[in-house]
Structure 1
Amino acid sequence: MSTAQAQSPAPHTTIADLQSFERRYTNLPFEAILKQDILRLGLSFDGKALSGIEFKTKDYFIFTFDHVPLAEQSEEIRFRAPEEIRLSGGPFSLAKTVVSVRIDPSSPYRVSTTDRGPALFLGDQFLADVDFPPVPAWYRHTTSSGKSPGEIAPVIEWGYLIYLTVFRNCQYFGKDEECAFCDINHNWRQQRLQGRPYTGIKSIEEILEVLSFIDKEDTVAECYTITGGSVVTDLQKKGETDFYFQYIRAIEERFPGRWMGKMVVQAWEKADLLRFKEAGIKVYHPNYEVWDPELFTKLCPGKTRFIGRENWIRRIVESVDVFGPSHVIPNFVGGVELSKPYGFKTVAEAVKSTAEGLDFFMSHGVVPRFTTWCPEPYTTLSTLEKQEKPPLVYFLELLSEWKRIFEKYKLPTPPGYGPPGPGQAVFSVSAFMDVIGYEGRA
């Protein structure tokens, strides 16, 4: 499918639009406003901006997060874009703001080279200076089997998080089971078609080998995430919980307490979770995706069939007894509530629905986060209809509601995401961490 079939072009933001939103949303730091707009519209790159300097490129650690297929990206951009960019300065006096890179050649946000180095432009107007993420020193190694560290244990969030996608496929397969917005299986296929080494199931030995490099040489990474696709039957003759547990046990036995352990998996029963807590996992992410009951059924058919919405909610709430308040952090896919053909017709309806879910969970000590929906080309949603990118006002309303409810329940900063607030946050796929603690402006 071509990019044109996958999604409709989004109206381009202007400087006047950004200024208007800055005046309107005084409860949000401008860094968060800009970050959400770049995430929804993606980034284009002048190839010259990527030449002559060394930086950490995208490892495609679980999803593509790109708005166009790899095959349709230009030779000077494909596999050469940075994992993230960090913005600062410019006419809005931006504090340092880390933003995940999502390739979209049609985006009005463009990174180009200048006399001072890479810079972000909105159309022809300069917006900010740009830093690219440094290459960790331990990336120079290769494993005993000849693989690069970024293939086995890449880091994201400006080096803060080691991301271990130990199973790079999902056994929810095809449009009748896959989450309709998810491209984990499509990403794996694209990487393989491009001739990239892309290990489907990572070995414990290789992970431990790369973690030994990090343990000896790295002072930035503070957390690791164990994650991967859902396991419906068996994988390597193990059920789902046993499959994932073997990695956590091996890491914590070899490097006890070296990094904060997090896991992003399905919603499991409390009895299954106890051994993960005892093994060393501190933070649990049973991603919920979308609150509305009908949308959950339509967009998460596999989760509906094998676990069910009510069971998923119950398991999330009960898992607080295991990991403690604020240590259970399910993800919402922000913006997918507006996707066609099933989604809400208005921003107000979409935000109201998700705010209901946020309030429910936060009232139970659960701290949901959200990522910014990226309409990747080969997902079920993109094959059903042309997907319009949600308007910026949706994300600003959602951020406002998240911040309001978070403060209503006086919840602590969720652990495992680095420091909060503008100029400090490193979580790069939404601005929820950027708004924590922000007191507003006149």
Structure 2
Amino acid sequence: MAELNTLANRPPSSLALLEEMERQYKDLPMEAIIKQDILRQGIHFRPESFQGVGAYKAKDYFIFSFDHIPLAEMKDGIDTKAPEEIKISGGHFQLLPTVISTRNNPLSPYEMRSKEGKPTLYLGETEIGRAEYPPIPDWYRHRTQSGKLPGEIAPVIEWGYLIYLTVFRNCQYFGKDEECAYCDINHNYRQQKGAGRPYTGVKDVEDILEVLSWINAEDQIAKVYTITGGSVLTNLKKKSEVDFYLQYPEAIERQFPKRWMGKLVAQAFEKEDCQRFKDAGIQIYHPNYEVWDKALFEKICPGKASWIGYDRWIRRVVESAEVFGPEHVIPNFVGGVELSEPYGFKTVAEAIQSTKQGLDFFMSKGIVPRFTAWCPEPYTTLGQQAGPPLVYFCELLRAWKETFELYKLPTPPGYGEPGPGKAVFSVSAFMDVIGYSGRN
């Protein structure tokens, strides 16, 4: 395909494009293809799409904004009414239920409208699927003794499967010379506070334990918790980075031993520090490497490159598998950022070739990387720019699936069931493609 050789042609989303991808990528479920297209384009919610749907869980802005525009520019109450995720089914392609993270974009060709009183997603005049919005957990009715909202302290995502604990909502990689170029964690914190929202910068252990006590007593859907936040370069609350993050799983596992599977998303640590987290009860480790190409890593992740370095980062990821076990090390990369301007590759083929090298490097060792779909958020160093074409994400999913199957690797733990109609991981379709045998 011509699109593999040049980025000059980035066709807008259309029914014709989706049908072309359906013909071209029979090894990928349409649920995955459409999910990636919606993630790259975002959703325009019309005001009527919020009416008559009853109570549902709105976006908690659990770490990044994942929006194409600032909060201050959102109209019609979208900043408070947009759901955390959507689940679409049926429509033109007869989709199985597909969970997709909400990324607000008033310029998106994907519009959420109302049809017969039900939210329905359209591309142009084509119905892509009837939509559901996530239910509000019963325990969201509580307030902590300190007056905090549960969604501020321990929100759930992935249709209630994952408790997301962003315990530090800033990052000490600060400014364009240190911040990861695609990341808006610091900017999102500022805009949330600027909008007058309660948005705790450093979460108190006792607040988290109080919310978890409600989940423990009232909830059977959540199966996993993630502890994450920005990087700590010196100290935070008089603790080193390791000691700061370690206090949370230690407290959680002491009070609720093995109640949920514990994950840690943090920097790449040395083996002895990884062992401390495993001893505390962390089972899954995500030392995200962000982008495989070394030159791009140094441009796109300047702080990580300066403070730790690419070679040391990759070595630590590999060595962490000796502590947690390879299948429990699941580093993330930001799918599509290797095509970002001005530093990225100029063709889809080059980008896929590079990323596939990283997939093969890790998967040959039993480590299974996952990816999130890059969202060009306005306040990041990369800013608002055209994201990758849909063909890139189809090629990426194919490369991921082929490499995963080549090494006969197990389904990554802590992500729920795999496959179309079952996957709940909402910021990419890597779980949706597992086990799919293709179509005629």
TM over 0.5: yes
Determine the structure 2 residue equivalent to 1:29: 29
Deviations 1:22-72 (A, max 9, x none): 011000000000000000000001111112321000000000000001011
Unaligned runs of at least 5 residues, structure 2: 1-7
Alignment of 1:51-70 (within 5 A): 51-52=51-52, 53-70=54-71
CA distance in 2: counterparts of 1:51 and 1:191, whole angstroms:
25
TM-score under structure 1 length normalisation: 0.96
Distance 1:404 1:116 in 2: 42
Q: Secondary structure at the match of 1:371?
A: strand
Counterparts of 1:73 and 1:106 in 2: how far apart (Å)?
11
Which residue of structure 1 aligns with residue 288 of structure 2?
287
Equivalent residue for 2:406? 408
Asked if 1:190 corresponds to 2:188, the answer is no
1:83 and 1:101 in contact (8 A); partners too? yes
> Does the CA-based 8 Å contact 2:227-2:263 persist in structure 1?
yes
Q: Where in structure 2 are the equivalents of 1:7-86 lying within 5 Å?
A: 11-52=11-52, 53-86=54-87
| Counterpart AA for 1:221 | A
Match of 1:350 in 2: 351
Aligned partners of 1:183 and 1:9: how far apart in 2?
Answer: 28
2: CA distance, partners of 1:137 / 1:10: 44
Q: Is contact 2:92–2:126 with CA below 8 Å preserved after alignment? A: no
Which residue identity is paired with 1:165? T
- 1:95-114 equivalent positions in 2, closer than 5 A: 95-114=96-115
Aligned-residue offset at 1:226: 0.2
How far is 1:278 from its partner?
1.3
Shift of 1:78: 1.4
Matched ranges for 1:88-237 at <5 A? 88-237=89-238
Is residue 328 from structure 1 mapped to residue 329 from structure 2 by the alignment? yes
Residues in 2 aligned to 1:12 and 1:136: alpha-carbon distance in whole angstroms: 37
Give distance in 1, aligned partners of 2:282 and 2:15: 44
- Deviation of 1:9 after TM superposition, in Å, equals 13
Choose the corresponding residue for 1:392, options 390, 393, 412: 390
Tell me the TM-score normalised to structure 2 length.
0.97
Q: Distance in 2 between matches of 1:245 and 1:251?
A: 10
Residues in 1 aligned to 2:77 and 2:122: alpha-carbon distance in whole angstroms: 19
Q: What's the CA shift string for 1:99-129, capped at 9, x where partnerless?
A: 0000000001011111151111001221111
The equivalent residue for 1:370 is: 371
The aligned amino acid for 1:418 is G
What is the DSSP-based 3-state SS (H/G/I as helix, E as strand, rest coil) of the residue aligned with 2:283? Answer: strand
Instruction: Give the paired residue count.
Output: 432
Contact 1:10 / 1:41 at 8 angstroms: preserved in 2? no
Counterpart contact for 2:91–2:129, Cα < 8 Å: yes
Match of 1:3 in 2: none
Cα distance in 2 for partners of 1:325, 1:159 equals 27
Q: What code does the residue aligned with 2:396 have?
A: L
Cα-to-partner distance string for 1:295-342 (whole Å, 9 max, x where unaligned) = 000000110111100000000000111111211000010000010000
Correspondence for 2:4: none
Provide closer, same or farther for how the CA distance between residues 191 and 404 of structure 1 changes in structure 2, counting only shifts above 3 A: same
What's the CA shift string for 1:270-307, capped at 9, x where partnerless? Answer: 01111211111110000000011110000001101111
Q: Which letter maps to 2:354?
A: S
- Say if 1:243 and 1:172 are closer, same or farther in 2 by CA, change over 3 A: same
CA contact (8 A) 2:420 2:436 kept: yes
What RMSD in Å do the two structures reach over aligned CA positions? 1.2
* Alpha-carbon separation, structure 2, partners of 1:148 and 1:48: 27
Pick which of 289-298 and 9-18 moved more.
9-18
The Cα of 1:145 is off from its aligned counterpart by 1.2
1:413 partner letter: T
Aligned position for 2:5: none
The letter for the 1-side match of 2:77 is E
Cα distance in 1 for residues equivalent to 2:143 and 2:403: 46
Determine if contact 1:97/1:424 at 8 Å carries over to the other structure. yes
Give per-residue Cα distances to partners, 1:67-100, cap 9 Å, x unaligned.
0010110042112100000011112110010000
Q: Which residue of structure 2 lines up, in the alignment, with residue 301 of structure 1?
A: 302
State the distance in 1 between where 2:96 and 2:393 align. Answer: 20
Instruction: Tell me how far apart the structure 1 counterparts of residues 168 and 146 of structure 2 sit (CA, whole Å).
Output: 18
Q: Distance in 2 between matches of 1:193 and 1:94?
A: 39
Aligned residue number for residue 3 of structure 2: none
Q: What secondary structure is seen at the aligned counterpart in 2 of 1:82?
A: coil
State the alpha-carbon separation in 1 of the partners of residues 172 and 366 from structure 2.
31
CA deviation profile, 1:391-416 (whole Å, cap 9, x unmatched): 00000000000000000111000001
Task: State percent identity of aligned pairs.
Answer: 66
User: How far apart are the structure 2 equivalents of 1:303 and 1:127?
Assistant: 40
Find the aligned partners of 1:11 and 1:42 in 2 and give their Cα distance: 15
Distance across 2 between alignment mates of 1:305 and 1:147? 37
What is residue 423 of structure 1 aligned with on the other side? Answer: 421
Q: Which structure 1 residue ranges, 5 or more long, are not aligned?
A: 1-7
Which moved further from structure 2: 276-285 or 427-436? 276-285
For residues 358 and 98 of structure 2, what CA distance do their matches in structure 1 show? 28
